[in-house]
Amino acid sequence: MQVSVVLFTADLRVHDHPPLRAALAAAEQVVPLFVRDRAIAAAGFAAPNREAFLRDCLTDLDAELRARGGRLVVRSGDVVAQTCRVAAQAGAGEVHVAAGVSDYAQRREERLRAALERDGRRLRVHDAVLTAVPPGAVTPSGGRDHFAVFTPYFRAWSRQSLRDPLPAPRAVRVPDGLDSAPIPAADRVRGRSPGLAAGGERAGRRRLTNWRRSGLAAYATGHDDLPGDATSRLSPHLHFGTLSPIELIARARSAGGAGAEDFVRQLCWRDFHHQVLAARPRCAREDYRPRDDHWRDADTAGEEIAAWRAGRTGYPVVDAAMRQLAYEGWMHNRGRLLAASFLTKTLYVDWRIGARHFLDLLVDGDVANNQLNWQWVAGTGTDTRPGRVLNPVRQGRRFDPDGRYVRRWLPELAGLTGPAVHAPWTRPAAERARYDYPEPIVDLAAGRERFQRGRGGGGSGG
């Protein structure tokens, strides 16, 4: 009897899952395996919001497999040792896994291959599972191993022909006798954010179907509208792989229209950051383009960092975004840009401090997208205008013109309307005394000057 193991990592789904399909095609029985990897917890990456979402994903994956006659086998410990053990217990000849991107995932793959080969087994690694176009599949001319600028990458990426999405398998036969750690009940794994979305493939597919029907067409005009909340909110599903990027692209393209084109372009941003990280794994920690910055940190800007984290900077749109992050474990992209620009440019604080805080809370917190977007905003990454500084008052008036987003997240400003919502300090002192809201912690012009001095000149407005 031929047996294969499918090691699930950031691909917790049964639809469009090449490793699962390949294993089922080659073997009569398959072990769908998830290992709770203790190295991820040890690295401080198992944040409570993502742990709660992961729990939902595992419960759902198990249910989807059971509906097809199978089940999920869950183990915990060292991912390589556990996978080898399960492969030996099941008498499996092959282990299938999706190709990873980060430094850690690349090393995991190497260790796993070596350990399996020592036991006479084979590792089969599948591309285009976690991303639509595999990192390294398109490269610029001149021998460089990755694209450093988005627009040419987008052009090359758009010319790639993608495979058709694969259907979910009808039946999955799992060998008897393999023990599995229980998936904890929902009340045992609580996220930190009270408004956290539910995880799992079925929740993701429902969200996709509804959003494609009622949100996609308006995406082109609405994606920056802060109160409109008109983006897909599919990022946690992409992070955990409960939805496949190839399927999302196919479904968006089949709907057509400007909204679909813009949405596919955003999915390309995701692949873009993944190909940068795959080629330069160290830029999860180090500047992609060092600018000789003299960042401020917890010792030199401790109080300002604390105010930023708490959503008490005195700049309403930044504070609203930070409160959304705390409450939902998710933040609108425009909010992320403003909150990150405020920290790294206006306060001139090291991007790593902001990225860490986001990773502690974001349910979609992702090494490639988070670290490289932070670097993009900080001007140490791939932005072709690294000196730009976003002005939170102007940006607030542009993307939240009547202040609905601010009032939603800052109830203490509920009485403010009109342009004053984004500059409460312009109201008379007697009125301000009625709001429990801080004065600005920094003057925008002084912040910009400090950044330009630290960076050696060259900032521009936005």
Q: Which residues bind ligand FAD (CB under 6 A)?
A: 223, 231-235, 238-239, 263, 266-267, 269-270, 273, 333, 336-337, 340, 358, 362, 364-366, 369-370, 373-374, 377
Structure tokens at 170: 């009808």
Nearer to ligand FAD, 8 or 330 (CB): 330
What's the min distance (Å) between Cβ of 29 and ligand FAD? Answer: 34
What's the min distance (Å) between Cβ of 183 and ligand FAD? Answer: 24
Which amino acid, one-letter code, is at 359? L
Burial class (CB in 10 A: 0-12, 13-18, 19+), 167: exposed
Nearer to ligand FAD, 32 or 241 (CB): 241
What's the min distance (Å) between Cβ of 237 and ligand FAD? Answer: 8
What's the min distance (Å) between Cβ of 453 and ligand FAD? Answer: 23
What's the min distance (Å) between Cβ of 270 and ligand FAD? Answer: 4
Which amino acid, one-letter code, is at 347? L
Burial class (CB in 10 A: 0-12, 13-18, 19+), 379: buried
Nearer to ligand FAD, 68 or 265 (CB): 265
What's the min distance (Å) between Cβ of 145 and ligand FAD? Answer: 20
What's the min distance (Å) between Cβ of 310 and ligand FAD? Answer: 18
Nearer to ligand FAD, 100 or 169 (CB): 100
Nearer to ligand FAD, 8 or 240 (CB): 240
Which amino acid, one-letter code, is at 425? W
Nearer to ligand FAD, 358 or 405 (CB): 358
Which amino acid, one-letter code, is at 117? E
End-to-end CA distance of the chain: 64
Nearer to ligand FAD, 246 or 340 (CB): 340
- Residue 32's nearest CA partner among 68, 67, 81, 65 is 65
**Largest separation between any pair of C-alpha atoms in the chain:** 81
- Residue 158's nearest CA partner among 61, 271, 5, 81 is 271
CA 424-351-408 angle, 5° bins: 35
Nearer to ligand FAD, 26 or 46 (CB): 46
In contact, 131 and 245? CB cutoff 8 Å: yes
What's the min distance (Å) between Cβ of 42 and ligand FAD? Answer: 20
For residue 246, the SS3 value is helix
Alpha-carbon distance 110 to 121, whole Å? 14
Alpha-carbon distance 431 to 97, whole Å? 61
* Alpha-helical segments (H) within 311-391: 316-328, 333-341, 351-361, 372-378
With a CB cutoff of 8 Å and minimum separation 6, the contacts of 378 are 340, 344, 345, 351
